[in-house]
Amino acid sequence: MKNIDEIRADFPILGRRVYDKPLVYLDNGATTQKPRVVIDALADVYLSYNANIHRGVHHLSDIASEAYENSRETVRSFINAEKREEVVFTSGTTGSINGLAFSIGERFVNKGDEIILSHLEHHANIVPWQMMCERKGAIIKVIPVDDNGDIIFEEYLRLLSSRTKLVSITQVSNAIGTVLPVNEIIAAAHTLNIPVMIDGAQGIQHGVVDVREMDCDFYVFSGHKVYGPNGIGCLYGKEKWLSELPPFQGGGDMVDQVTFEKTTYNELPFKFEAGTTDYPAAIGLATALGYVTSIGRNYIEQREKELLSYATERLLSIKGLKIYGNSARKISTISFLLEGIHQYDTGMILDKMGIAVRTGTHCAQPVMKRYGIDGTVRASLCFYNTNQEIDTLAAGIEKVIKMFA
């Protein structure tokens, strides 16, 4: 088991300075930093075996294709999907949801049908469904949230009906940290045979994800939020759904036979992987998942719980600081405001102290509106953060308050 210094040493960027102060990186919800093994894996592709996958008969293409398909197997095992065919590489969560919204819309949605979302969704899990609903004449229904930031389950049950074509829900709110009761949400939808998509963009990096145990029909996530490279992500789908859905992009590799009259499609998962995918990033993602496994997902979950509880207590001791999102089930993300001080001012002053936090609406305007605010400061912590960094944040916030006093 590595100690925290050894873990931090795995992430070269954490050792850098910003404005001549040690970097305190608390913006992990936006993107995580990369361990050296991931950077090395990417470099290794380009340095020693770069070639387009699934195309050539030559040696390098064979190695790259094998590494890419092994990466798919790593993802399958990480999320415990039943089959490799159920794991589609995409450009990320946004790419996955846009693709799925198109395919589901084309195949299953008609005028007057409904899609259920929650009030906690990231724009990436709102706008693609809206675009599809506009095309198809369908309607979005929204599960409300209470003052703590929990969805109101009875309202959800009321929304489910024979008109519901899909429930698309985040596993964890990126804006306020709530962990949603996805197992219960899925079970309730399944009593009416309604499929459920889980947006795992903020879920996969914080603990064990088991799509079979969850029984979700689709699960999507981004590599860059789980210590992997940018530009890669996944769309997991149960085979029975993926085989029924039409592809969302056409091009090379996703086809079987092409004539000018008609095209037949490749088998799963290639039907959904048109064109040259970012195979180096897929290989980097698999390396990141391997790294996470080596640290231990149970360890990560436990350590982040400790960080959340330390940070919550520390920040709540600051007079004039209000936390938004007080669910009993939260990941290590704290959204807050300082009385009378705009979030941008807070964020910009903290930045000058080397502390990186996110400010604004966090691409979740509806939930900000729900609480009558136009944004927050968000500190999103992960297992490589330390209590000392939380102390630095708290001291920085005290300084901000003094400056505005």
Q: Of the ranges 12-20, 195-203, 206-214, 338-346, which one interacts with ligand PLP (CB under 6 A)?
A: 195-203
Binding mask 328-367 for ligand PLP (x = CB under 6 A): -----------------------------------x----
Residue with tokens 């003052």: 147
Q: Are 351 and 165 in contact (CB under 8 A)?
A: no
Of residues 217, 214, 189, 188, the one with CA closest to residue 203 = 214
How far is residue 234 from each of residues 23, 59, 256, measured CA to CA in Å?
Answer: 31, 27, 23
Task: Measure the CA–CA gap between 357 and 377, rounded to whole angstroms.
Answer: 7
Asked if 93 interacts with ligand PLP (CB under 6 A), we say yes
Asked if 75 interacts with ligand PLP (CB under 6 A), we say no
Of residues 177, 165, 164, 169, the one with CA closest to residue 153 = 169
Asked if 205 interacts with ligand PLP (CB under 6 A), we say no
Of residues 278, 253, 285, the one with CA closest to residue 266 = 253
Q: Shortest approach of ligand PLP to residue 120 CB, angstroms?
A: 8
Return the residue of 90, 118, 222, 376 that touches ligand PLP, per CB under 6 A: 222
Q: Shortest approach of ligand PLP to residue 65 CB, angstroms?
A: 26
Is residue 234 among the annotated active site residues?
no
In one-letter notation, the amino acid at residue 230 is: N
What are the b/e assignments for 384-403, b being 16+ CB within 10 Å? bbbeebbebbbebbeebbee
Q: Which lies closer to ligand PLP via its Cβ, residue 33 or residue 170?
A: 170
Q: Shortest approach of ligand PLP to residue 142 CB, angstroms?
A: 16
Of residues 140, 144, 137, 143, the one with CA closest to residue 114 = 140
Footprint of ligand PLP on 105-134 (CB under 6 A): 122, 124-125
Q: How far is CA 94 from the centre of its chain?
A: 9
Asked if 32 interacts with ligand PLP (CB under 6 A), we say no
Footprint of ligand PLP on 128-187 (CB under 6 A): 170, 174
Q: Which lies closer to ligand PLP via its Cβ, residue 280 or residue 396?
A: 280
Q: Shortest approach of ligand PLP to residue 282 CB, angstroms?
A: 15
Residue 45 gets which letter from DSSP?
I
Q: Which lies closer to ligand PLP via its Cβ, residue 93 or residue 361?
A: 93
Q: Which lies closer to ligand PLP via its Cβ, residue 39 or residue 127?
A: 127
Q: In degrees rounded to 5, what are phi and psi of residue 159? A: -75, -25
How far is residue 184 from each of residues 121, 145, 151, 216, measured CA to CA in Å?
Answer: 18, 16, 12, 11
Q: Which lies closer to ligand PLP via its Cβ, residue 177 or residue 354?
A: 177
Task: Measure the CA–CA gap between 12 and 300, rounded to whole angstroms.
Answer: 19
Asked if 92 interacts with ligand PLP (CB under 6 A), we say yes
Task: Measure the CA–CA gap between 227 and 287, rounded to whole angstroms.
Answer: 9
Q: Which of 133, 216, 363, 382 is catalytic?
A: 363
Q: Positive or negative, the Cα torsion across 119, 125, 127, 132?
A: negative
Q: Which lies closer to ligand PLP via its Cβ, residue 87 or residue 201?
A: 201
Return the residue of 201, 381, 382, 390 that touches ligand PLP, per CB under 6 A: 201
Q: Shortest approach of ligand PLP to residue 212 CB, angstroms?
A: 22
17: β partners: 22
Size of the site for ligand PLP (CB under 6 A): 13
Name the residues annotated as catalytic: 363
Q: Tell me which residues touch ligand PLP (CB under 6 A).
A: 92-94, 122, 124-125, 170, 174, 199, 201-202, 222, 363
